[in-house]
Every structure is written in C-alpha cells, then in structure tokens.
Amino acid sequence: MRHFLLIAALSLTAATATAEDEVQASYSVERGDTLSSISERFGPSVEDISAWNALPSDAIDVGQVLWLVDPATYNAEDPEPVVEESPPTEVEEPKEPEAKKEKAPRESSDGYKPAVDGFSARAMFGTGRVQERELGSSESADVAIGVQYGLSNGLAFRLSFSDALYDQTYRSVNPSMDGGGLYETTVLEQNQDFGLHASFDVAELVDSLASHVSARPAFGFRYVNLYNPQFDSWGLALHLGTELRVHVADRFRLEGRASWAPAVATSSETLSIMGLPRYFTDFGAGAGMDFGDTARWTVLLGWAAHGVVFEHTTRVRHVGELGLSVAL
C-alpha cells in the first residue's frame, strides 16, 4: 500500500511539472494592453515581441494575436499555441474606435501618442505688453510660426519664426532744451526670432509615460533681431530648452515650455542705456484640444513670456496666445 501511494504522488508531481513547463506561445491583445504590460505578464522583452511579430512601432490593436516565442524556432509538432482570448463581452463591443486607430497607426493602443511622427505645423497669434526697466511699457502684437518633422524614434527637427511689433517710448534729458531738457521719443520696434533646433521625446525611453506624457528636451540655435530706426541690435544664441505635454483627458492636453539662450555673438549697434544683449529667455503654458483622426488638428490657448537681458536693462514681453496646429 505504501509503494502504491508513493507511485501515485510521483505521477501527480510529474503531471504538475509538465503543465507548469508549458509556455504560452501567443496572446490575443485585449483593450488597455501595451507591449510593456504584455512583456511584464509573460516574460519576453518588448524588443523580442516587436521582432517576432515584425511590428513597425509600439502600436497594437485589440484582437491582434502576438507571438510570445520566436516563430522561427517554434516546434510545429508541439501542441497548438495557447491563445488567451478576450472576454466575450469585450469582443462584442462596437469596432468603430478600432477603425479610427487603423487610420492613425502612430497612436498607441489607448488612442493617443503625444509624440508626432511625420510633418506638423503650428501658428500662434497673440497680443501683449512689453515691460522694460528704465523705459516703461507698451503694447505689442505677436505672431509665431513653426514647422517640425518627427522621426519614429522620437527625434524631431524644428524650424521656427516669430515676429513682435510694438511702440516703445524712450525718455532722455538734454540740458540745452527749454523746460529742463526732458523729452520723449516714441519709435516702432520690431523683434524677429529665427530658430533651428532638435528635440527628443523622453517618453520613447519610458514605456509607462508613452501613452500620456511627452517630455522633449531641445537644443539648437536662435537668431534674434531687435530693430528700431535708431539702432539694429542682434544676437546669435545657443538654445537650450524643454517642452512638456500631458494628455489629461480624451483629446485634451496641457502644455508647458521653458528655454534659456545665452548669446554667443552680438552686435555693437545698441543704445548706451541698453548695452549688448546677454541672453534670451522664454516661458509658456497653455492647453490644447485635438480634433480629427487621420490628421490631428489642435486648437491652442495659452500665455508666454519672452525676455531679453541686456547689459544695462531687461525687457520682458507678456503675450496671450491663440493658435492652431496640424499634424499629418
């Protein structure tokens, strides 16, 4: 009797070990799945799953069957792969949202990807106020235009242009004039800013951020022209900055940006009260609402502060912005 119980126990142990050794060869994607979550659940790395299934990007669709083993080395004589099917209730859901994802393959399985692959353009219009130490303040009108081309690995190149017009009043004293020699001169000034820089989406490196957060450190060059009829001051600056976009709800996102650009070359044709431009700063915040599926149109509303620090004074322009962007 004792021998019989020992043999039965060994048989049960062997059967259990055989069941545990079975490896799930494939998996049917469910709603909310990402390559990262599938990797954590079944073991293979994200890179292996992408290679075994020849995925062009991290985008996956509900119902798509993925290999969890290398199909080239998988033994066809083994039992059929175990495919974990989605719950019947989810399979029976309407398929309209999935059709939209097929039109925009750059989007992740939850329908959103902040980083844009391909061409995008943005135009911002604003009005604000220029505040300058020693010289007072004046109204301004601003326009900013930018075009960008993004690659599938998160790297993007951007060319930008902005222009600001405002009347600036200069006060000075001439002792030879009647009334103490105090007089004011109002001139129309124009600030032009050309930029060329590259940025990289950090979310491409962090799977847990890829679906709702896009952080883009940027670097490059800016050429700033500060013009009025009395002088024409310019500066070439090294641009260092960052952009942050957070997807907080369906098609709605918040944006923030900051940059610092120290001047590496400047002109000497400046008023003595201002001196040479030292560096340029930019800060901005806003919100955007996305429309469309094949092309993403975004209405933007925000605020920005543009600063120029000279040797003897500081100029800051506060601007309320309204704009439109499109990503193809």
Q: Give the three-class secondary structure for 237.
A: strand
Positions of the chain with pLDDT under 70: 1-23, 75-116, 133-136, 168-185, 204-211, 230, 268-273
For residue 306, give both structure tokens.
């543009």
pLDDT at 183: 57
Which residues, 6 or more positions from 304, have their beta carbon under 8 angstroms from its beta carbon? 126, 282, 283, 284, 318, 319, 321
Map out the domains of the chain as residue ranges: 20-103, 118-327
pLDDT at 20: 42
C-beta separation of 298 from 267 below 8 A? no
How many whole angstroms separate alpha carbon 142 and alpha carbon 254?
A: 22
How many whole angstroms separate alpha carbon 12 and alpha carbon 7?
A: 9
Helix (H) or strand (E) holding 19: helix 2-21
pLDDT at 97: 46
Backbone angles phi, psi at 318, to 5 degrees: -95, 130
pLDDT at 172: 57
For residue 79, give both structure tokens.
């039992």
Architecture of domain 20-103: Roll (3.10)
pLDDT at 205: 66
pLDDT at 206: 63
User: Fold for domain 118-327?
Assistant: Lipocalin (2.40.128)
pLDDT digits (tens, 9 = 90+) for 302-325: 999 998 888 878 888 899 999 999
pLDDT at 77: 53
